[in-house]
């Protein structure tokens, strides 16, 4: 089983939301300046604090160097300040340092160091570090591959509401990787993430309904979830929805809609959808084909797919 990961690894230029009075007026001034976009003033306030050993200021200084805010972008300087903060236990700096090792920014790329710093942040409850530590265990990069440990860290991130971790945990339950195989648990997690708008989860939930795994078999429910994913541009969902419209399973049979859905999937490279589309085209009238082509060309990702009321040439 190959699990596609959806997170993007970015070190954001976050400004530390700490207890401002406890951190002193200079930090407060830097915080306010950064919030207003005056990064030069923020830097002037953070730098002396960072040099005095203030971990929060060190982290913010590292972020500013990383993102070129108030100073010229400089990965080496970013790494220097993040390391100082990370070694003092600043969780965001630990995550950021792991990220720089992962991407080879300011330092040679190093999977073992990536895992080391993600673990430090993850153990302090950093949700994104927990997610990526799960990825690392799943792929065995920098540490021995271990599905059970991957599940453990995905679960920690999932319990903090990380939607990608919830989805991958669903995949692990469906395929029995690192946990006992459990379709009902997979469905529970797919449903949770599908309701949050994750197209992959919507598609997988459709599959579970199509195949009667973890839920009673229900083609109508399958079509409902395929449609949600298809409207987000999920090619396999568009393909499956096209097949259902072509056969009248789970939906009323509609060859124009079958053409539209297969055409959209074909445009994303699905060879099966391309073959389906061409077969359907041979069974449409000239007007029906023209309408299907028009609807396909006008549709945009994130907008509803056509319904019966949208067709003038059907039946």
CATH number of the domain residue 71 falls in: 1.25.40.10
Residues 225, 193, single domain; the answer is: no
Residues 302, 242, single domain; the answer is: yes
Q: Is residue 298 part of a domain?
A: yes
Q: Which of 160, 109, 108 shows the shortest CA–CA distance to 134? A: 160
Q: Is residue 161 part of a domain?
A: yes
| Domain of 135, in residue numbers | 128-199
Residues 112, 147, single domain; the answer is: no
Residues 178, 114, single domain; the answer is: no
User: Measured between alpha carbons, how far apart are the two ends of the chain, in Å?
Assistant: 42
Compute the distance between CA of residue 213 and CA of residue 271 in angstroms, rounded to an integer. Answer: 27
Q: Is residue 194 part of a domain?
A: yes
Distance of CA 189 to the CA centre of its chain: 15
- State the pTM of this model: 0.86
Residues 253, 179, single domain; the answer is: no
Residues 45, 119, single domain; the answer is: yes
Q: Is residue 156 part of a domain?
A: yes
Alpha helices in the chain (DSSP H): 20-23, 25-35, 39-51, 55-67, 75-87, 91-103, 111-123, 127-139, 147-159, 163-175, 183-194, 199-211, 219-230, 235-247, 255-267, 271-281, 286-298
Compute the distance between CA of residue 236 and CA of residue 225 in angstroms, rounded to an integer. Answer: 12
Q: What is the pLDDT of residue 108?
A: 95
Residues 78, 110, single domain; the answer is: yes
Q: Is residue 98 part of a domain?
A: yes
- Residue ranges of the chain with per-residue pLDDT less than 50: 1-22
User: Domain boundary at 101, 124, 147, which?
Assistant: 124
In this structure, what token pair is assigned to residue 135?
């990825």
Q: What is the pLDDT of residue 310?
A: 75
Number of domains observed in the structure of the chain: 3
Q: Is residue 206 part of a domain?
A: no
CB 228 within 8 A of CB 202: yes
Residues 263, 311, single domain; the answer is: yes
Q: What is the CA radius of gyration of the chain?
A: 25
Q: Is residue 282 part of a domain?
A: yes
Q: Is residue 312 part of a domain?
A: yes
Compute the distance between CA of residue 94 and CA of residue 83 in angstroms, rounded to an integer. Answer: 8
In this structure, what token pair is assigned to residue 143?
């540490």
User: Domain boundary at 199, 226, 254, which?
Assistant: 199
């Amino acid at each position: 089983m190959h699990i596609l990961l959806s997170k993007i690894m970015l070190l954001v230029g976050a400004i530390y939301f700490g207890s401002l009075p406890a951190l002193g007026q200079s930090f407060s001034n830097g915080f306010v300046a950064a919030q207003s976009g005056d990064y030069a003033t923020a830097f002037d306030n953070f730098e002396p604090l960072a040099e005095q050993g203030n971990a929060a200021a060190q982290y913010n200084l590292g972020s500013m160097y990383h993102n070129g805010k108030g100073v010229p972008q400089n990965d080496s300087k970013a790494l220097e300040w993040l390391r100082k903060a990370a070694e003092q236990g600043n969780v965001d700096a630990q995550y950021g340092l792991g990220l720089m090792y992962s991407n080879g920014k300011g330092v040679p790329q190093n999977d073992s160091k990536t895992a080391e710093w993600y673990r430090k942040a993850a153990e302090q409850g950093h949700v994104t570090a927990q997610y990526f530590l799960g990825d690392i265990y799943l792929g065995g990069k920098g540490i021995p591959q271990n599905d059970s440990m991957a599940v453990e860290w995905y679960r920690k991130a999932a319990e903090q509401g990380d939607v990608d971790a919830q989805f991958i945990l669903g995949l692990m339950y469906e395929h029995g990787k690192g946990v006992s195989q459990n379709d009902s648990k997979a469905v529970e997690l797919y449903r949770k993430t599908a309701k949050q708008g994750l197209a992959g989860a919507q598609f997988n939930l459709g599959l579970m309904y199509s195949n009667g795994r973890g839920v009673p078999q229900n083609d109508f429910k399958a079509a409902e979830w395929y449609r949600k994913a298809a409207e987000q541009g999920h090619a396999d969902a568009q393909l499956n929805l096209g097949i259902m419209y072509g056969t009248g399973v789970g939906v009323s049979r509609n060859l124009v809609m079958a053409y539209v859905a297969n055409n959209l999937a074909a445009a994303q490279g699905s060879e099966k959808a391309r073959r389906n589309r061409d077969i359907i085209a041979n069974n449409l009238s000239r007007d029906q084909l023209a309408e299907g082509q028009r609807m396909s060309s006008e549709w945009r990702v994130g907008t509803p797919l056509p319904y019966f009321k949208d067709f003038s040439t059907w039946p």
